[in-house]
């Protein structure tokens, strides 16, 4: 089994593998781009000539794409086929194809782990898995804090009980997870994130630089200034980690640049109010850590804080962490930490790999789950099931593997919550909601008819159920208190009781499984995954069509560029009297006619368009060349034949764009013919020698017989 892990961050995808090797082939011609990073070998996925300011367009497209899938689940009751190629699927398939090529394995032998930020709920994670599985691999999704925890544990097997805090400072968000680590048990106590990261610091540095050049004439607008100087601002925020101030050259307008000085104090003053939410999050986590240390026997329990992420080197991050927890954090500078953690987590789950540390892992699911109940009359009721912060449990691998043949092994199970939904009829629709997105649709299950002997008893039991007993009581009360009720009212009451007899109270047991997904069981309802409404196989077809279109564009571009190069070289040869083409009587005229085709057509998109352009060149210039072809071809054949010492036939007319290759092709033919003649001569010489030797032997044999 090979494991390929992709850390899908805010502006780049970091890749790691179980065999420590990933090769990124030349890029695809996408209209969007992002950075793909493997061991510091950064490649851009997307437009080759794109600018710095569109570097995160792939990620923006991915986020919008997933949001669009969510909108489909909410708004459409019918099956839907995607209409546009998927930016996310394109990137994943690109990485999978190249890894398959490098590792020499089939897609079915690869376990793909996509590591995601915490803001992706279960619906979005399942969408990513379904998209990734279209490549033929087995795919799964985990959160970044889980991957970071596994990365830490695979480097440092715990010898004593401790608290571990991991802070991930990314481009767009900052997260913090607090975990309790023991010898055979890990529990993520709390996890949270805020939408603040390195991008906010970059914007702050840009605004400082913008104010410093306020007196410059014709200064860019702020938006254009940020786009042009974002790379420099990134450099400033990184290098300020070790220096009190930095000088940076910034583009002020189209004609001039200015050098400005940025200090730590200026950046801190501009940034601090932006990161108040991060400070508040750290303080909450510090309070939870203090509460855990106040438990009996935990007073001396140590706490470690690790900082990682693309923006972990920001100069003020260590200080705010140390102020909150009172311990100096360790900065993890390995950009592959999350991606490698995804590899380790999958290997920890695999029965084919052994780890010395195989703990029970308790995690926290922050998704909110509810049941949305819609009656046939259009009334909607929402039943809250999980508010977030629900524990999930992953058993040890040894227990999971051993339970199949050792009945004494008991797996840990998360607590189940039983939800009762009253007044459910056949037309009632129950939807399992994750956050604000639908995940499953439940309908009342068909009840099997009881055996004939027990039919009457069964009917009697139904009459004593909760709602029906209440209805029967009201009916008796009405009959005793008002015997003169109208016949129509009696029929209405009878219809109401009949409707009640078709209503049931359904019971659904729900819990969070070891993957952090909602699970449920019920004998009363049947569930259908709503993600089946989306035809993810269509995404694969669209991607293949897009790839073929891209390949055709590249072929057309290469063909047109080659034709343009031939035109320039042909004009040069026509003007040179030392070349055979320069001796053509119409050389100047042909050169002038070629000048009209120096620029390739901008509207040529297909190979058919390129062929039409080449045909146009041939139709306009070809007749002029053909008029002198026999004379030209005879001279070239004679000269090359003399050079090769063979007689050459006149070459066929190759077309205008093939004129430059005539002499070289004849030379190749001449060399081949000369080689064939030489081989023939040697063969004939060998045959002659063999024949003479045979004749001499025959003569000697006759003489010997004559003497005898």
Between 88 and 304, name the one with better pLDDT.
Answer: 304
Pair 437, 575 in one domain: no
- Asked if pLDDT for residue 430 goes beyond 90, the answer is yes
- Is residue 233 situated within a structural domain? no
Strand order in the sheet with 138-143: 41-45, 34-38, 12-17, 2-8, 110-116, 138-143
Last residue of a domain, one of 310, 345, 365: 365
Tally the domains of the chain.
3
- Is residue 246 situated within a structural domain? no
- Is residue 693 situated within a structural domain? no
As a whole number of angstroms, the distance between CA 222 and CA 233 comes to 14
Pair 351, 457 in one domain: no
Pair 163, 311 in one domain: yes
Query: pTM of the full predicted structure?
Result: 0.73
- Asked if pLDDT for residue 407 goes beyond 70, the answer is yes
> Is residue 533 a contact partner of residue 72, using CB atoms and an 8 Å limit?
yes
Pair 83, 11 in one domain: yes
> What is the residue range of 281's domain?
2-197+275-365
Q: What's the confidence (pLDDT) of residue 300? A: 83
- Is residue 706 situated within a structural domain? no
- Is residue 256 situated within a structural domain? no
Q: Which of 30-34, 138-142, 445-449 has the lowest mean pLDDT?
A: 30-34
Tokens of 610: 């390129």
For 586, phi then psi, to 5°, come to: -100, 25
Pair 308, 184 in one domain: yes
Pair 177, 49 in one domain: yes
Pair 495, 584 in one domain: no
Tokens of 382: 């929402």
- Is residue 315 situated within a structural domain? yes
Give pLDDT tens digits for 305-353. 999 887 888 888 988 999 999 999 988 767 778 888 888 888 887 766 6
Q: Which of 88-97, 346-355, 548-557, 589-598 has the lowest mean pLDDT?
A: 346-355
Burial of 360 (0-12, 13-18, 19+ CB in 10 A): middle
Q: What's the confidence (pLDDT) of residue 26? A: 56
Pair 504, 610 in one domain: no
Last residue of a domain, one of 500, 535, 570: 535
∠ at Cα 473 (443, 374), nearest 5°? 20
**Partners of 142 in beta bridges:** 115
- Is residue 257 situated within a structural domain? no
The 8-class DSSP code of residue 611 comes to H
Pair 500, 593 in one domain: no
Q: What's the confidence (pLDDT) of residue 43? A: 55
Alpha helices per DSSP H over 397-515 = 397-402, 455-463, 466-481, 487-501
Pair 311, 436 in one domain: no
Pair 374, 353 in one domain: no
Tokens of 304: 């470690």
Give pLDDT tens digits for 555-597. 888 899 999 999 999 999 888 888 888 888 888 999 999 998 9
Percent of the chain whose predicted confidence (pLDDT) is above 90 = 28
Query: Which residues lie closer than 8 Å to 682 by C-beta, 6 or more apart?
Result: none
As a whole number of angstroms, the distance between CA 98 and CA 94 comes to 6
- Is residue 684 situated within a structural domain? no
Last residue of a domain, one of 365, 388, 419: 365
CA–CA distances in Å: residue 622 to residues 113, 590, 657, 699: 59, 9, 10, 67
Pair 445, 422 in one domain: yes
């Amino acid at each position: 089994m090979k494991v390929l892990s992709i850390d899908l961050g805010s502006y780049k995808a970091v890749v790691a593998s179980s065999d420590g090797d990933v090769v990124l082939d030349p890029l695809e011609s996408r209209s969007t781009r992002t950075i793909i990073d493997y061991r510091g070998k950064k490649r851009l996925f997307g437009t080759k000539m794109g600018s710095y300011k569109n570097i995160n367009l792939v990620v923006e497209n991915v986020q919008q794409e997933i949001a669009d899938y969510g909108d489909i689940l909410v708004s459409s009751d019918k099956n839907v086929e995607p209409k546009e190629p998927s930016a996310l699927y394109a990137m994943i398939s690109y990485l999978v194809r190249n890894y398959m090529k490098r590792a020499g394995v089939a897609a079915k032998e690869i376990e793909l782990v996509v590591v995601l930020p915490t803001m992706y709920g279960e619906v979005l994670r399942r969408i990513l898995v379904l998209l990734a599985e279209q490549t033929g691999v087995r795919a799964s999704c985990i959160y970044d804090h889980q991957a970071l925890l596994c990365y830490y544990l695979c480097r440092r097997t715990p010898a004593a009980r401790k608290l571990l805090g991991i802070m991930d400072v990314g481009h767009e968000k900052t997260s913090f997870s607090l975990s309790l680590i023991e010898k055979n048990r890990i529990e993520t106590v709390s996890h949270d994130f805020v939408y603040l990261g390195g991008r906010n610091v970059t914007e702050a540095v840009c605004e400082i630089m913008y104010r410093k050049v306020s007196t410059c004439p014709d200064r860019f607008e702020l938006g254009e200034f940020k786009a042009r100087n974002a790379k420099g601002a990134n450099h400033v925020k990184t290098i300020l980690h070790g220096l009190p101030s930095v000088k940076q050259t910034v583009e002020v307008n189209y004609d001039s640049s200015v050098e400005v000085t940025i200090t730590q104090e200026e950046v801190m003053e501009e940034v601090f109010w932006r990161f108040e939410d991060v400070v508040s999050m750290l303080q909450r986590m510090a309070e939870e850590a203090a509460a855990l240390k106040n438990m009996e026997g935990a007073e001396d329990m140590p706490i470690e804080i690790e900082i990682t992420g693309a923006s972990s080197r920001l100069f003020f991050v260590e200080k705010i962490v140390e102020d909150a927890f009172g311990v100096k954090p360790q900065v993890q500078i390995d950009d592959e930490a999350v991606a490698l953690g995804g590899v380790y987590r999958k290997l920890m789950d695999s029965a084919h790999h052994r780890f010395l540390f195989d703990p029970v892992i308790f995690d926290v699911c922050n998704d909110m789950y509810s049941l949305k109940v819609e009656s046939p009359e259009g009334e909607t009721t929402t039943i809250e099931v999980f508010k977030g912060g629900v524990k999930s449990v992953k058993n040890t691998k040894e227990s999971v593997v051993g339970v199949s043949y050792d009945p004494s092994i008991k797996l840990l199970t998360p607590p189940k919550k039983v939800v009762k939904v009253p007044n459910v009829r056949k037309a009632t629709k129950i939807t399992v909601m994750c956050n604000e997105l639908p995940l499953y649709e439940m309908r009342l299950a068909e009840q099997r008819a009881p055996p004939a002997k027990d039919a009457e008893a069964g009917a009697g039991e139904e009459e004593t159920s909760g709602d029906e007993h209440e209805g029967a009581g009201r009916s008796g009360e009405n009959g005793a208190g008002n015997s003169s009720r109208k016949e129509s009212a009696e029929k209405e009451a009878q219809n109401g009781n009949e409707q009640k007899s078709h209503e049931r109270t359904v019971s659904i047991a729900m819990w969070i499984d070891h993957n952090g997904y909602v699970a449920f069981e019920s004998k009363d309802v049947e569930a259908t995954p709503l993600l089946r409404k989306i035809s993810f196989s269509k995404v694969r077809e669209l991607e293949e069509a897009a790839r073929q279109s891209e390949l055709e564009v590249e072929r057309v571009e290469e063909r047109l560029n080659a034709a343009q190069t031939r035109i320039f070289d042909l004009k040069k040869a026509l003007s040179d009297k030392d070349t055979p083409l320069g001796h053509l009587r119409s050389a100047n005229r042909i050169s002038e006619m070629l000048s009209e085709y120096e620029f390739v057509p901008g509207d040529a998109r297909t190979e058919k368009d390129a062929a039409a352009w080449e045909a146009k060149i041939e139709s306009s210039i070809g007749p002029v060349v053909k008029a002198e072809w026999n004379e030209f071809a005879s001279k070239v054949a004679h000269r090359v034949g003399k050079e090769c010492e063979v007689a050459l036939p006149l070459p066929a007319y190759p077309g205008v764009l093939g004129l430059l290759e005539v002499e070289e092709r004849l030379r190749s033919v001449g060399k081949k013919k000369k080689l064939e003649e030489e081989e023939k001569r040697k063969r004939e010489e060998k045959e002659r020698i063999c024949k003479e030797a045979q004749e001499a032997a025959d003569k000697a044999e006759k003489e010997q017989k004559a003497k005898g």
